[in-house]
Structure 1
Amino acid sequence: MANPRRPVLISIDMQRAFDLPGRPRRWNPDLDRNGLALLAAWRARGWPIIHVRNDSPDPASWFHPDHPGHGFRPGFQPVQREDLVAKTVNSAFIRTDLDLRLRRLDPASLVIFGMRTDMCVSSTARCGSNIGWRVTVVADACDCCDLPDPFGGATIRAEDAHRVHLATLADEFSEVVTTKAASPCSLPEGEPIRQERFPARAS
């Protein structure tokens, strides 16, 4: 059994598409630096890492395998025997074998970072929590993009969307921490791999 009872690091959609011309503004200049720091810390400990990549089936998508945006950002490619999970929807748990891979790894918890906070990071964290995994989201190693207001108001800033979605995750689905707090020496080992979920609080 590989790396039993250790936190598994899950890198979500760290792909080139987000910085190509024509994409909405994103706001976190430390995204790559913090993400690479997490990968380096896990690799130094020999802890498990899973890379999630968006393999959109839509030929017009920035994330289609034939699009230049599909490739990994510099430094975020899997190395050696690190796992790669290809997904086609927002959550990395839907129509993939991620949950099976996690059961085989037997981790203490899931530590998630990547793009975007409001989309695939949030969807994956929510699904993971709902099926019983203990989830941590690393806030300063995630990022959002500006969004149009569906009611015709001013553009919703990426940093505001990021903060609101982290608040929702922290309220119900995950711990939310910084890169420093997510360092291997700060995370628990040897705890149960899955936790009992209680009914959601009434609104």
Structure 2
Amino acid sequence: MTISKKDKPALILIDIQKGFDDIAYWGGQRNNSKAEENASEILKFWRENNLPVFHIKHCSSNPNSLLNENNPGNEFKDLVKPIDGEVIIKKHVNSAFIGTDLKEQLDHAGITKLVIVGLTTDHCVSTTTRMAGNFHYETFLISDATATFNKKGLEGQNYAAELIHETALASLNGEFATVISTDFLLQNIS
């Protein structure tokens, strides 16, 4: 793993929105309760080093969704709230690259390395990470700055959030991204 501040890696914060605080709505169980704190720690480092930051916001077309723009859950969580000068990209599907100008902005800025954090590991984080890898960005996914919820299986069985999280990370690591921890990132970025 080589990641340097000189490369101007972009931090991509995916869907860290207030609507995800309603754990019952999303399945009743969540893993990695420190994900937002870790994302905030990384964001602080990026800001201190004047590195590019992109905030992704999911804007559901379903009026009943907590992430619909008319609902308070659409707002960014306070720990990672954008500041002036940071890019905000609104998306309507799982990938931050579909229906947005994210790729164009990254390419225009000459960015080739991405650091991805956010919610949820197996949906928007995974989809965006897969596309980033397919677009040939060198992508680092931060395992403890992402989280997800439990899922019901096809026959009603309950799959724990941690299992969903770990299998999503395992599916991405080595093919679409390099999966690392917050501490590893902050200790090894030069």
Tell me the TM-score normalised to structure 2 length: 0.92
Q: 1:127 aligns with which of 121, 124, 131?
A: 131
Structure (1/2) with the larger strand percentage: 2
Q: Distance in 1 between matches of 2:147 and 2:14?
A: 11
Q: Distance in 2 between matches of 1:142 and 1:97?
A: 23
Larger radius of gyration: 1
| Aligned-partner SS, 2:43 | helix
Q: 2:122 aligns with which of 104, 111, 118?
A: 118
How far did residue 151 of structure 1 move? 2.3
| Aligned-partner SS, 1:164 | helix
Q: 1:160 aligns with which of 163, 168, 176?
A: 163
AA aligned opposite 1:159: E
AA aligned opposite 1:31: A
Match of 1:179 in 2: 182
Percent identity of paired positions between Structure 1 and Structure 2: 33
Q: Distance in 1 between matches of 2:23 and 2:147?
A: 17
Structure (1/2) with the larger helix percentage: 2
RMSD (Å), alpha carbons: 1.5
Q: Distance in 2 between matches of 1:8 and 1:120?
A: 17
Match of 1:14 in 2: 16
Tell me the TM-score normalised to structure 1 length: 0.86
How far did residue 4 of structure 1 move? 7.0
Gaps of 5+ in 1: 189-203
1:71 is the counterpart of 2:75: yes
1:146 is the counterpart of 2:150: yes
Moved over 3 A (4+): none
Q: Distance in 2 between matches of 1:175 and 1:140?
A: 13
The 8 Å contact of residues 140 and 179 in structure 1, kept in 2 or not, is answered as: yes
AA aligned opposite 1:161: I
Q: Distance in 2 between matches of 1:5 and 1:171?
A: 21
The 8 Å contact of residues 23 and 30 in structure 2, kept in 1 or not, is answered as: no
Match of 2:56 in 1: 52
Match of 2:7 in 1: 5
Q: Distance in 2 between matches of 1:108 and 1:187?
A: 15
Aligned residues: 184
